[in-house]
């Protein structure tokens, strides 16, 4: 688990959560990494002036104005989990992402490492990643948390980050700090190539396991499965980073069961209305002006 290379799906997350301690050299058992449920109810420092305690993965502070509704909010980023030894004691820490807002339009992203000490779950260290930073990929390498991100470059508007970077976080003494940051290029639609994207969620609804709805990007060409029929089309880049359009986009005309055809119709309509792409904890997110049409995809290696 010390080289876990990607954000994990909920199924893998549950598997990791069930893992117990392992013996080291025949000595005392090594503590297991904190579980997701423990992370969702842990205490975190470094996000607000005072420690915050999550309940079922979320925290809300007191309203800024006693007569208003705006209040500070923090939550675990769903579907993200890493585990590995960060401090050299052979016991794995659990790594989570937290988003935090203070009532404005932007959100701050934090990375936190949790440890099991004397039977209790403690926040071993929390570090700010940045405002509106997107995580494309994450892993633990050589005792470091390594995040491939999309962030605002020097000339980018905050709404439309377009700078790709690889940023590393590690413990220096008792503090989790950023130890390296390297710009790797600009965000382009070609960054979507090289994997197959499998639909995980449409709006607020989980996608069914069968039939799978998929997308593949190959330069300006798009292909995949709409559930019943294959889809095909072209991808066009817009004027700002992450701005795209599928035009034209078509599919074959084979008929399937009514439920499958309904899902296919909704999927194709959401793709045709998509105007931007971005990343949340390693998942690709296609968005439009209709929040209910957001498409969430997980990456899967291409098969020959």
pLDDT digits (tens, 9 = 90+) for 48-102: 999 999 999 999 998 877 776 788 999 999 989 999 999 999 999 999 999 999 8
pLDDT given for residue 98 in this prediction:
98
pLDDT given for residue 290 in this prediction:
76
pLDDT band for 17, please (50, 70, 90 cuts). very low
pLDDT given for residue 23 in this prediction:
33
pLDDT digits (tens, 9 = 90+) for 248-296: 899 999 999 999 999 999 999 999 999 999 999 999 999 987 767 899 9
Say whether pLDDT at 10 is over 60.
no
In angstroms, the CA 71 to CA 90 distance is 40
Domains and CATH numbers, the chain: 10-186 (no CATH), 189-301 (2.40.128.270)
pLDDT band for 3, please (50, 70, 90 cuts). very low
Cis amide linkage into residue 248, ω under 30° from 0? yes
pLDDT given for residue 46 in this prediction:
92
pLDDT given for residue 58 in this prediction:
97
Of 100-114, 144-158, 183-197, where does mean pLDDT reach its minimum? 100-114
The dihedral formed by the CA atoms of 22, 25, 26 and 29, expressed in degrees to the nearest 10: -30
CA neighbor of 129 nearest in space, from 156, 147, 106, 153: 147
pLDDT band for 29, please (50, 70, 90 cuts). low
Say whether pLDDT at 163 is over 90.
yes
Q: What is the 3-state secondary structure (H, E, C) of the chain?
A: CCCCCCCCCHHHHHHHHHCCCEECCCCCEECCCCCHHHHCCCEECCCCCCCEECECCEEECCCCCCCCCCCCEEEECCCCCEEECCCCCCCCEEEEEEEEECCCCCCEEEEEEEEEECCEEEEEEEEEEEECCEEEEEEEECCEEEEEEEECCCCCCCCCCCEEEEEEEEEECCEEEEEEEEEEEECCHHHHCCEEEEEEEECCEECCCCCCCEEEEECCEEEEECCCCEEEEEEEECCCCCEEEEEEEEECCCCCCHHHHHHHHHHHHHHHHCCEEEEECCEEEEECCCHHHCEEEEEEECCC
pLDDT band for 106, please (50, 70, 90 cuts). confident
Please state, rounded to an integer, the average pLDDT across all residues of the chain.
Answer: 88
pLDDT given for residue 168 in this prediction:
98
Q: What is the mean pLDDT of residues 130-137?
A: 96
Q: What is the mean pLDDT of residues 220-240?
A: 95
pTM above 0.95, yes or no: no
Percent of the chain with pLDDT over 90: 76
In angstroms, the CA 155 to CA 163 distance is 10
Higher-confidence residue of 198 and 17: namely: 198
């Amino acid at each position: 688990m010390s080289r876990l290379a990607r954000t994990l799906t909920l199924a893998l997350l549950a598997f990791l959560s069930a893992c117990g301690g392992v013996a080291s050299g025949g000595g005392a058992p090594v503590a297991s990494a904190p579980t997701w449920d423990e992370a969702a109810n842990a205490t975190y420092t470094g996000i607000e002036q005072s420690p915050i305690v999550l309940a079922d993965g979320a925290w809300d502070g007191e309203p800024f104005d006693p007569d208003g509704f705006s209040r500070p909010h923090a939550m675990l980023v769903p579907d993200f989990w890493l585990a590995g030894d960060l401090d050299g004691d052979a016991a794995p820490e659990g790594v989570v992402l937290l988003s935090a807002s203070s009532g404005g339009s932007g959100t701050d992203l934090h990375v936190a490492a949790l440890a099991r000490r004397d039977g209790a779950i403690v926040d071993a260290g929390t570090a700010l990643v940045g405002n509106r930073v997107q995580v494309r990929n994450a892993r633990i390498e050589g005792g470091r948390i390594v995040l491939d991100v999309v962030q605002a470059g020097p000339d980018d508007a905050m709404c439309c980050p377009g700078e790709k970077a690889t940023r590393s976080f590690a413990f220096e003494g008792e503090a989790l700090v950023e130890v390296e940051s390297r710009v790797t290029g600009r965000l382009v639609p070609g960054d979507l190539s090289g994997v197959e994207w499998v639909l995980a969620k449409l709006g607020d609804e989980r996608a069914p396991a069968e039939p799978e709805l998929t997308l593949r990007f190959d330069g300006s060409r798009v292909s995949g499965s709409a559930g019943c029929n294959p889809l095909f089309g072209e991808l066009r880049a817009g004027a700002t980073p992450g701005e795209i359009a599928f035009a034209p986009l078509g599919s074959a005309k084979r008929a399937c069961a009514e439920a499958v055809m309904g899902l296919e119709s909704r999927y194709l309509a959401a793709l045709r209305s998509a105007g931007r792409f971005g990343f949340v904890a390693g998942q690709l997110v296609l968005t439009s002006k209709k929040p209910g049409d957001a498409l969430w995809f997980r990456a899967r290696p291409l098969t020959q």
